[in-house]
């Protein structure tokens, strides 16, 4: 459908907004993200505020109008009708103890430290602090690259009860630890504690006076319940109580603050439903105090019945403070003091140490790195899994869905809301993509199931429950105000004719295989089996969705539907659905196309379905059908006929294509006399049907899918292609497009910088590496060659990512193929964390 593919697989717009290091002026305007916290404190423009309230008022009117509009209520459009089958999340394995054990967590990945429960409306907690930039105070709260922190992220995190994060913000070193525990008196979900430790690292070794730091710890009740402010005075030495309250889910609760250091504590209380932009509120409040009284401290006042309490903790560095959240019955009992004690001070210290040891032991047991790698790599490996698990979030809200495929960006008139849904998921990047992305999640789960199968099933279950009656799953999940505040409005609407690779099947395939070879404990096997049994009908629908909506003209051929065939602005119309956004395909999108990557995804899907059917010994009709599909899609002759090009020695897409295209400036007149210039595509030769000569990961999909027989000359050619420095090979990993391709590193429009046209991406490198590993283990004439290339590529990928991490503090979205430098979104853990599986040599079965 025309225009259906305007939105990116991972909101490319957000990404190109990022620090494309070399081209700072080419960023499209920022979306609605409230990204510049530095504006807030000292200048509050009331007119802007008033304007915003007016807009909000009409937005609410509009919403109410839509809600009560009887016609829309009467007939639920098909596209927003849930898949009619029992939900995975209703399985017994996800109730009871399991559910409670995951109730509280660091499930707000978009902020530097944020805690909430897995409930649509929760009590939430978080941290802000004041930093100084260019002589101005700035507030830190929401993770954003523009804050330019030199480092942050979970160096360890177990996804459940423990995490340790280190943040370096200019001279300030801030460590945040999280610990959760369940005692017999605890309320539902248990108690938790946060330890904050602040140091000023520059003052070490200098005679300077240590400076002071201001932290802001807050609690907010999304249900609007009033919170009580602690004792009469906040003299925390005698009375550690900061706040208390009561909720339906957990009963009564208290928040305590303990420290041995000399702290000053101030507070402010607010009553507002807007929690997502709380830092703005705090900044305004502080700004007012500064202007009125010249002091940087909260006013110690509160709105009536506040649902948000913010506590300012100020002290000279270094200092340490513990915040304990205690819930449940018995808050009046003498045991209370004991419970607070065990969540603070030396008791907390020893529990954190114990958890740290447990994490290290589990890490070693799961990935076995000690004899394989140096300690620098192991530290990075821990951060890879720690950041992935610590980035897991919980979201609740409604996606926006296009009802006609023909949407113009910014035109939301013909969009409707998906049903209200929960999503528990890992995220690609806390600052840039702090929300769920369908195909990324498949790669995330390759790591997560190896750490904690129950968390992994819970996440996959949430995703499969988002399926509609047609077997479609929206690929980018922007649920709730917090998630929305990070996405430019043009990129919010999801298009129901567009797919995204069914990468979750990679993880499920591993699980099926693991069950078959008795890899798991009895309890794990039970959990996986009952999950798969219930999931089967959804997975079938998913398969059918691809099989019917993405099929090509020839039997057994597929192509990504939704490419824009009318655009004149793009050098090569993007294929966002494939996940490889601007990776070049046929120059002229048409129904004749055949995409070799999608064909291989379909093989994976059929194979996975076949294995599941086998597992249940259901060699019934449907099992056989998938078996036949596997035979068809892995048929070497048919594959070669459809996609192989002997001259290039590789597999290529097929379509209506010409290489002779370029972007040229064209003058256009708007109205009578206003002239403007735009970059448009010029086609210098009429396109012809044929194979599309762009080489990259897409060409290697049959190799990735292991269709090529081990003794085939074609395998040798693939190995030559991979290891050729003029084509894909670099010292840092494999390029995402051959250096010899006509579109290598080419801008797609004036503003669209090359994305999948050269830089090194970890997920594709991981998949290619896993096949090299496979072919170096099966008999054949090219075994040794595969082994050598495998070892070199593995070494290069590990070395480069580890070096970047230690040098620059982050895992990145991509790595520059020319110098190995990390670029794109930071804290991309995210599929860049797959480097840990590369260290462990753990590959898909
Ligand atoms: C927070 O956002 C809401 C609307 O989403 C707006 O009405 C409110 O004014 C904002 N608050 C601040 C302090 O910016
Ligand atoms: C997929 O589509 C093809 C062609 O329409 C059809 O023959 C086949 O039965 C479908 N399903 C499977 C599992 O192959
Ligand atoms: C085949 O087995 C699957 C897996 O349990 C089941 O869902 C499906 O209904 C069965 N189909 C037939 C035709 O019996
Ligand atoms: C290829 O594209 C050109 C330009 O859009 C079109 O005129 C031609 O008919 C197409 N060829 C085929 C075989 O679809
Ligand atoms: C690598 O590829 C280039 C470009 O296709 C080719 O000229 C060269 O011979 C290849 N080198 C090797 C070692 O195969």
Predicted pLDDT at 54: 55
> Ligand 3 atom 8: the closest Cα is on which residue?
622
Predicted pLDDT at 670: 73
d(CA 653, CA 500): 17
Catalytic residue among 145, 155, 422, 581: 581
Least confident range from 20-34, 526-540, 593-607: namely 20-34
Predicted pLDDT at 414: 79
Under the banding of pLDDT at 50, 70 and 90, the label for residue 231 is low
* Joined tokens for residue 471: 């077997």
Verify whether ligand 4 is closer than 6 Å to residue 565 (CB atom).
no
Predicted pLDDT at 233: 46
Task: Write the CA distances from 485 to 111, 222, 404, 635, integer angstroms.
Answer: 12, 16, 25, 48
Mean pLDDT is highest, among 52-66, 134-148, 186-200, 326-340, for 186-200
DSSP code string of 241-297 = EEEEEEETTTEEEEEEEE-SS--EEEEEEE--S--TTHHHHHHHHHHHHHHHHS--S
Three-state SS at 84: coil
Under the banding of pLDDT at 50, 70 and 90, the label for residue 87 is very high
Verify whether ligand 1 is closer than 6 Å to residue 482 (CB atom).
no
Segment 636-658 mean pLDDT: 97
Protein residues with CB under 6 Å of any ligand 5 atom: 720, 724, 726-727, 740
Least confident range from 14-28, 43-57, 600-614, 635-649: namely 14-28
d(CA 798, CA 685): 44
Which domains, ranges and CATH numbers included, belong to the chain? 19-76 (no CATH), 110-379 (2.70.98.110)
Verify whether ligand 3 is closer than 6 Å to residue 530 (CB atom).
no
Verify whether ligand 4 is closer than 6 Å to residue 533 (CB atom).
no
**Cis preceding linkage at 830, omega within 30:** yes
Q: Is the pLDDT of residue 76 over 90?
A: no
Ligand 1 centroid – CA 281 distance (Å): 8
Q: Is the pLDDT of residue 53 over 70?
A: no
Closest by Cα among 428, 378, 444, 451 to 798:
378
Least confident range from 9-18, 272-281, 592-601: namely 9-18
pLDDT tens-digit series, residues 608-645: 999 999 888 765 567 789 999 999 999 999 999 999 99
CB atoms within 10 A of CB 217: 25
pLDDT tens-digit series, residues 267-283: 999 999 999 899 999 99
Q: Is the pLDDT of residue 739 over 50?
A: yes
Predicted pLDDT at 239: 67
User: What angle, 0 to 180 degrees and rounded to 10, lies between the N-to-C axes of helices 504-516 and 453-464?
Assistant: 130
E strand intervals along 134-189: 136-140, 154-157, 162-169, 172-181
253 and 245 Cβ atoms separated by less than 8 Å: yes
Q: Residue 139 CA: which ligand is closest?
A: 1
Predicted pLDDT at 13: 42
Verify whether ligand 4 is closer than 6 Å to residue 588 (CB atom).
yes
d(CA 129, CA 474): 36
Task: Write the CA distances from 489 to 13, 403, 750, integer angstroms.
Answer: 11, 17, 21
Predicted pLDDT at 167: 97
pTM of the model: 0.91
Segment 577-600 mean pLDDT: 97
Query: Average per-residue pLDDT in the chain?
Result: 89
Cα first-last separation, the chain: 36
Least confident range from 55-64, 391-400, 475-484: namely 55-64
d(CA 524, CA 527): 5
Closest by Cα among 502, 459, 494 to 474:
494
Q: Is the pLDDT of residue 758 over 90?
A: yes
Q: Is the pLDDT of residue 64 over 90?
A: no
| Annotation says 19 is catalytic | no
Q: Which of 590, 681, 688 to mutate to test the pocket of ligand 4 (most atoms within 8 A of CB)?
A: 590
Q: Which atom of ligand 3 is nearest to the CA of 612?
A: 4
Predicted pLDDT at 133: 81
Q: Which atom of ligand 1 is nearest to the CA of 34?
A: 14
DSSP code string of 494-561 = B-TT-----THHHHHHHHHHHHHTT-S-HHHHHHHHHHHHHHHHHHHHHHHHHHHHSB-SSTT-B---
Under the banding of pLDDT at 50, 70 and 90, the label for residue 67 is low
Predicted pLDDT at 229: 92
Q: Which of 33, 41, 44, 52 to mutate to test the pocket of ligand 1 (most atoms within 8 A of CB)?
A: 52
pLDDT tens-digit series, residues 198-208: 998 765 554 44
Q: Which atom of ligand 4 is nearest to the CA of 592?
A: 14
Q: Is the pLDDT of residue 34 over 80?
A: no
> Ligand 5 atom 13: the closest Cα is on which residue?
724
| Annotation says 653 is catalytic | no
Q: What percent of the chain clears pLDDT 90, i.e. is strictly above it?
A: 78
Under the banding of pLDDT at 50, 70 and 90, the label for residue 703 is very high
Ligand 3 centroid – CA 594 distance (Å): 31
Q: Which atom of ligand 2 is nearest to the CA of 626?
A: 13
Q: What percent of the chain clears pLDDT 70, i.e. is strictly above it?
A: 87
Q: Which of 546, 547, 631 to mutate to test the pocket of ligand 2 (most atoms within 8 A of CB)?
A: 547
Instruction: Choose between 135 and 507: higher pLDDT.
Output: 507
| DSSP state letter for 22 | T
Ligand 4 centroid – CA 55 distance (Å): 47
Ligand 4 centroid – CA 588 distance (Å): 7
Q: Is the pLDDT of residue 528 over 50?
A: yes
CA angle (409, 411, 417) in 5-degree steps: 105
Q: Residue 716 CA: which ligand is closest?
A: 5
d(CA 350, CA 96): 29
pLDDT tens-digit series, residues 414-429: 789 999 999 999 999 9
* Joined tokens for residue 111: 């902020």
Verify whether ligand 4 is closer than 6 Å to residue 658 (CB atom).
no
pLDDT tens-digit series, residues 469-519: 999 999 999 999 888 888 887 788 999 999 999 999 999 999 999 999 999
């Amino acid at each position: 459908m025309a225009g259906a593919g305007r939105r990116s697989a991972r909101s490319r717009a957000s990404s190109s907004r990022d620090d494309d290091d070399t081209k700072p002026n080419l960023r499209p305007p920022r979306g609605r993200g409230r990204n510049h916290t530095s504006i807030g404190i000292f200048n509050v423009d009331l007119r802007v505020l008033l304007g915003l309230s007016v807009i909000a008022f009409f937005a609410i009117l509009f919403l109410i109008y839509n809600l009560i509009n009887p016609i829309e209520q009467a007939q639920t459009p098909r596209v927003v009708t849930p898949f009619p089958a029992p939900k995975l999340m209703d399985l017994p394995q996800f109730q009871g103890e399991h559910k409670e054990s995951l109730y509280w967590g660091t499930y707000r990945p978009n902020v530097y430290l944020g805690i909430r429960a897995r409930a649509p409306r929760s009590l939430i907690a978080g941290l802000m602090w004041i930093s100084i930039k260019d002589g101005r105070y700035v507030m830190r709260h929401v993770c954003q690259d523009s804050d330019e922190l030199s480092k942050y992220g979970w160096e360890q995190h177990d996804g459940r009860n423990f995490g340790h994060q280190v943040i370096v913000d200019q001279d300030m070193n801030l460590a945040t630890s999280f610990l959760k525990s369940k005692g017999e008196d605890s309320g539902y979900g248990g108690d938790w504690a946060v330890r904050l430790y602040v140091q000023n690292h520059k003052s070490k070794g200098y005679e300077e006076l240590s400076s002071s730091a201001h932290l802001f710890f807050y609690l907010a009740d999304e249900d609007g319940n009033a919170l009580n402010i602690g004792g009469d005075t906040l003299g925390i030495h005698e009375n550690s109580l900061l706040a208390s309250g009561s909720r339906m889910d957990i009963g009564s609760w208290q928040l305590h603050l303990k420290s041995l250091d000399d702290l000053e504590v101030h507070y402010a209380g607010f009553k507002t439903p807007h929690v997502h932009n709380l830092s703005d509120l705090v900044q305004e409040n502080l700004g007012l105090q500064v202007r009125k009284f010249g002091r940087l401290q909260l006013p110690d006042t509160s709105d009536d019945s506040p649902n948000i309490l913010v506590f300012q903790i100020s002290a000279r560095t270094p200092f340490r403070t513990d915040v304990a959240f205690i819930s449940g019955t018995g808050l009046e009992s003498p045991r209370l003091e004991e419970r607070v004690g065990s969540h603070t001070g030396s008791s907390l210290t020893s529990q954190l140490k114990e958890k740290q040891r447990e994490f290290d032991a589990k890490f070693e047991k799961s990935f076995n790195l000690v004899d394989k790698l140096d300690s620098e790599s192991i530290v990075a490996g821990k951060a890879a899994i720690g950041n992935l698990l610590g980035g897991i979030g919980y979201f609740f809200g409604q996606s926006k869905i296009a009802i006609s495929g023909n949407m113009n960006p910014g035109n939301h008139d013909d969009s409707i809301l998906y049903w209200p849904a929960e999503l528990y998921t890992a995220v690609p990047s806390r600052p840039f993509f702090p929300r769920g992305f369908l195909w990324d999640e498949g790669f995330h789960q390759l790591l997560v199931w190896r750490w904690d199968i129950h968390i992994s099933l819970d996440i996959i279950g949430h995703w499969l429950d988002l399926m509609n009656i047609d077997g479609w799953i929206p690929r980018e999940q922007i649920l709730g105000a917090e998630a929305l505040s990070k996405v430019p409005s043009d990129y919010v609407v999801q298009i129901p004719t567009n797919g995204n690779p069914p990468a979750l099947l990679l993880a499920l395939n591993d699980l099926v295989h693991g069950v078959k070879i008795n890899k798991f404990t009895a309890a794990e096997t039970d959990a996986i089996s009952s999950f798969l049994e219930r999931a089967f009908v959804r997975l079938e629908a998913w398969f059918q969705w691809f099989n019917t909506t993405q099929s090509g003209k020839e039997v057994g051929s597929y192509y990504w539907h939704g490419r824009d065939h009318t655009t004149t602005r793009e050098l090569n119309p993007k294929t966002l659905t494939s996940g490889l956004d601007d990776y070049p395909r046929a120059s002229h999108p048409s129904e004749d196309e055949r995409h070799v990557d999608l064909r291989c995804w379909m093989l994976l899907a059929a194979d996975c379905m076949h294995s599941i059917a086998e597992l249940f010994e259901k060699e019934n009709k449907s099992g056989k059908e998938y078996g036949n599909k596997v035979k068809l899609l892995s048929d070497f002759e048919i594959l070669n006929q459809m996609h192989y090009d002997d001259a290039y020695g590789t597999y290529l897409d097929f379509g209506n294509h010409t290489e002779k295209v370029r972007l040229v400036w064209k003058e256009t007149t708007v109205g009578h006399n206003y002239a403007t210039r735009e970059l448009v595509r010029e086609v210098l030769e009429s396109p012809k049907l044929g194979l599309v000569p762009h080489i990259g990961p897409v060409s290697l999909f049959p190799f990735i899918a292991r269709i090529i027989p081990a003794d085939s000359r074609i395998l040798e050619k693939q190995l030559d292609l991979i290891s050729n420095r003029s084509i894909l090979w670099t010292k840092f990993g494999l390029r995402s497009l051959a250096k010899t391709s006509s579109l290598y590193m080419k801008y797609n429009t004036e503003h669209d910088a090359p994305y999948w046209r050269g830089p090194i991406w970890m997920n594709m490198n991981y998949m290619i590496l896993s096949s090299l590993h496979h072919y170096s283990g099966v008999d054949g004439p090219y075994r040794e060659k595969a082994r050598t290339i495998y070892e070199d590529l593995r070494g290069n990928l590990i070395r480069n990512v580890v070096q970047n991490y230690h040098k620059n503090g982050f895992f990145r979205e991509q790595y520059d193929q020319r110098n190995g430098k990390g670029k794109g979104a930071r804290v991309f853990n995210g599929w860049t964390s797959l480097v840990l599986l590369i260290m462990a040599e753990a590959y898909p079965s």
